[in-house]
Structure 1
Amino acid sequence: MVSLNPVQIFNAGAEEEKAETARLSSFVGAIAIGDLVKSTLGPKGMDKILQSSGGIEVTNDGATILKSIGIDNPAAKILVDISKVQDDEVGDGTTSVVVLASELLRESESLISQKIHPQTIISGWRKATDEARRALQNFARDNGNNETKFREDLMNIARTTLSSKILTQYKDYFANLAVDAVLRLKGSGNLDAIHLIKKSGGGLQDSYLDEGFLLDKKIGVNQPKRIENAKILIANTPMDTDKVKVFGTKVKVDAVSKVAELELAEKEKMRDKVNKIIKHGCNVFINRQLIYNYPEQLFADAGVMAIEHADFEGVERLALVTGGEIASTFDSPDHVRLGKCNVIEEVMIGEDKLIKFSGVEMGEACTIVLRGATKQILDEAERSLHDALCVLTQTVKETKTVFGGGSSEMLMADAVSKLAAKIPGKEAVAMESYAKALRMLPTTIADNAGYDSAQLVSELRALHTAGKHTMGLK
């Protein structure tokens, strides 16, 4: 006998959505995400204040905003992932990709209500994507072989990126700073060689680019404050076992003097470890972990500069720029590669002391010191400058450039509309909706600036139809 009882595959209380209901839910969630970040798009885009357990952030960076909100809608989560990928791969344009994707979904909702099948829409959009890409590639300009013009391209790209950020008041200053830093990389594209340090105090215009590497630490007590021709041993090893931690350890002894003997044994172990480190021929020892007073004193007696508790990213970056390796054992000095630099000295920035490494082996290494009034300003300035550095690095690899201000979107929309006019069938309707979604980007930029978007975008459309593809919003 066959049982006809349905099998329950969902958890108790789970909800199930199917067909039109599920599709509508996806549309609503994704469009809501687009509307959330839409107001931050463009040079006049507004910042958002994000409050969380970690404190307050003020930002208009799309990826940062979307990372900070809790979402349970699957379509909306996909848009968040799109912004993350854009941030990782390109650095900027995180808001643009989300707004474009949400506008495409808004258009598709309208097409679905007209009983156009999703596969027909997708087919039309694929043709539209190919045509838009072709139009963009044909119009792109390449000044990679002309050093002067290429630097001007980089400056314009940096200005465009910074125009929508907190640094817009000083965009020329920071654009120049970012371009100088990226051109030092000599095409390697290794952004790890550019170190960003935030120091509160002063104004944003007090920020500057410093050659070499700055480590946000102090030199130990009684250590040399300046060393030339430095040979640096970078380590991640415990240097805090010169005392028996009686309060955290159960020690059973016949007399108190035995504890002293234990401590002496610990000190001897530490002395042996320090001697092994010194045998590497280094005159600078930088450790990821703490260095207690006794080993610090031993290093000072040997004339070795000891720097403790260097943050992990700082140590990784330092190993990269000085050409050294991070060591954790010291029995084989021949197998450990020391870092090198010409001069190590202590410098003052604002009220803080930092350690400056000049003449490092990786000559392109540099540090950007950001100054600002508050933590929120400094954090947003760091995000803004990081976006500019990422975009410039990508431009150095792929030297083709296109115009901004909605010009490229209108160019692509014009090409798609012209192709749609030649294609019979429902695919043409989908392609027209694709062009409409592209036009929503300059529309949003104009809306955020308080202008009449309907008037401006219709004028732009007429100009691009007439072949004036360099026209955009300014």
Structure 2
Amino acid sequence: MLYFRKNLILFYEIKKVIGFVKSTLGPRGMDKLLISKKGDIKITNDGATILKNAFYNNIVKKIFDNLINTYDNEIGDGTTSVSCLIGELVSEAEKLIGIQIHPQIIIKGYKLAAREALSILNSIMFSENKNEKLFCEHLFDLAKTTLCSKIVFPVRDHFAKLLVEAVLKLNGNIDIRYIKIIKKIGGSIRDSFLEEGFILESKMGVGQPKRIENAKILIANTALDSDKIKIYGTKIKTFTLANLARIEIADQKKILDKCKKIIFHGANVFVNRQLIYNKQESFLTNYGIVSIEHADFEGIERLSLVTGGEIVSTFDEPSKIKLGYCKIVEEIMVNREKMVRFNGKLKINACTLVIRGSTQQLLDEVERSVHDALCVLSRSIRDPRFVWGGGNTDIFLFLKLENFSQKFKSKVSMAILAFSRSIRNLVKILLENAEVDSTFLISQLKTACQKGNAKACIDIKKKNVAQADKLGLIELFKLKTQMIISAVETVEMILRIDTILK
């Protein structure tokens, strides 16, 4: 078939990329070592990170780029699952095309199957947001399930507790930017902890009070040194030391005038993105203003959001500048380093997660794991609907779609069956990565589901069929639905290609 011959290379490239990623799926998935051209290394099993940093010249990588970015930003987790599902759908489509089934018929079957799968998911999902205690338990189980395939798996209970507590501190806010993550080398990942308030990785000036109550905060991104002459090659010649002294005095006067303008704002805490030199720091201290210098840009952006203050670059009109506010600003010790905490009566509740670990690569991977779990948890606050994990939902969809395919007598039914097999193969990949007999366990799980056991799932640790509610295996409903929608849309785009031009 002409179409098949032209797209053989495309199918091969897709299977090559997905084959590289799918070994990372599941709680027993393997990690990948990524080495950049500069020699920087990343050790990760995060599907989004792998696909973003590998296969630079690969045509499939370019097709996947938008999907990866959208999926990672929208859901935060499940990139490996959706990639594996795309790979399975393409493999099944390749078999159907090989027996002379037109791609448009396959697309039609896939769309019908996806629509039915979404309907099935709606019928089996559950929500307990009215019962606060049970909802918190589900959030804890959801966090543990998300972290099962991450590097923090041995201490997932500890991290799940920290992350749920962090999300609940936001009081319904789903923006995880208000949960600051600080990475510090030392100790073990079990030593990671959650701190109240927003912590800025900086310190207060010399000789200044280390605790301020009812803080009015002026946040700035401006230079407090002398104004530089920016005309290239400009020189100033003086004939006497007195003239040089007058230039120096005038220069210092400009700097102190800028400091006086800061005083007129009525703030008692001044946070600057750039350096604050000793003379300016001493001048501000004499007027009772605590100065914090060289704050990182991302830090002052978040501080502005949390305290409600504006980031300014000029101090000429104090009446037009909005100051931030919090109850207490204090200097604290984190891992033997001085940092500043902003806490109490913040505009938006915030907290800080301090991650500990033995190496920078470990800290980076823990941060990626934490980010994925936080995204899922924040999404569950917005849409508190869940489905059972451990392969329960996938096998249930497989059985229902098998029955659904019998309603069609055309070639479309073969495409629907192919879709159902792709869903089932996700469980197969997960079990094969764990070195478990996938055929036997999937057969047992199918039997349990057919007998009406709605919570049956696979316990990889004991290698048998168990109850998902007892194991605490819960997945986000939105993650499952988005996985199916994104996979079908991407595969449809791929199957519609009949010519590749270079």
Instruction: Look up the match of 1:45.
Output: 29
Tell me, yes or no, if the aligned pair for 1:29 and 1:76 is still in contact at 8 Å.
no
Instruction: Look up the match of 2:390.
Output: 405
Q: Which moved more, 1:262-271 or 1:419-428?
A: 262-271
Instruction: Look up the match of 2:99.
Output: 114
- In 1, Cα distance between equivalents of 2:117 and 2:182: 40
Q: Aligned AA for 2:121?
A: L
C-alpha displacement at 1:95, in angstroms?
A: 0.6
- In 1, Cα distance between equivalents of 2:423 and 2:311: 49
- Of 44, 48, 53, 1:68 maps to 53
Q: 1:66-465 to 2 correspondence within 5 Å?
A: 66-241=51-226, 250-362=235-347, 364-465=349-450
- In 2, Cα distance between equivalents of 1:461 and 1:167: 31
- In 1, Cα distance between equivalents of 2:247 and 2:439: 82
Tell me, yes or no, if the aligned pair for 1:242 and 1:292 is still in contact at 8 Å.
no
C-alpha displacement at 1:19, in angstroms?
A: 4.6
Give aligned pairs, total: 457
Instruction: Name stretches of at least 5 consecutive residues in structure 1 with no aligned partner.
Output: 1-17
Q: Which moved more, 1:453-462 or 1:409-418?
A: 453-462
Q: Which secondary structure state, in structure 2, belongs to the residue aligned with residue 330 of structure 1?
A: coil
C-alpha displacement at 1:21, in angstroms?
A: 4.4
Distance 1:355 1:159, change over 3 A: same
C-alpha displacement at 1:240, in angstroms?
A: 2.1
Distance 1:120 1:243, change over 3 A: closer
Per-residue displacement from partner, 1:59-118 (whole Å, max 9, x unpaired)? 111111111113333334223432222211111111101111111111111111111111
Q: Aligned AA for 1:144?
A: N
Q: Which moved more, 1:444-453 or 1:218-227?
A: 218-227
RMSD: 2.0
Tell me, yes or no, if the aligned pair for 1:79 and 1:101 is still in contact at 8 Å.
no
Q: Which secondary structure state, in structure 2, belongs to the residue aligned with residue 141 of structure 1?
A: coil
- Of 11, 18, 32, 1:34 maps to 18
Instruction: Name stretches of at least 5 consecutive residues in structure 2 with no aligned partner.
Output: 460-502
Q: Aligned AA for 1:353?
A: K
- In 2, Cα distance between equivalents of 1:346 and 1:305: 11
TM-score by length of 1: 0.92
Instruction: Look up the match of 1:5.
Output: none
Q: Aligned AA for 2:120?
A: A
Q: Aligned AA for 1:45?
A: G
Instruction: Look up the match of 1:8.
Output: none
Tell me, yes or no, if the aligned pair for 2:395 and 2:445 is still in contact at 8 Å.
yes
Tell me, yes or no, if the aligned pair for 2:332 and 2:341 is still in contact at 8 Å.
yes
C-alpha displacement at 1:184, in angstroms?
A: 1.4
Tell me, yes or no, if the aligned pair for 1:442 and 1:473 is still in contact at 8 Å.
no
TM-score by length of 2: 0.87
Per-residue displacement from partner, 1:6-35 (whole Å, max 9, x unpaired)? xxxxxxxxxxxx954441122111111111
Q: Aligned AA for 1:314?
A: G
C-alpha displacement at 1:167, in angstroms?
A: 0.9
Tell me, yes or no, if the aligned pair for 1:128 and 1:416 is still in contact at 8 Å.
yes
Q: Aligned AA for 1:30?
A: I
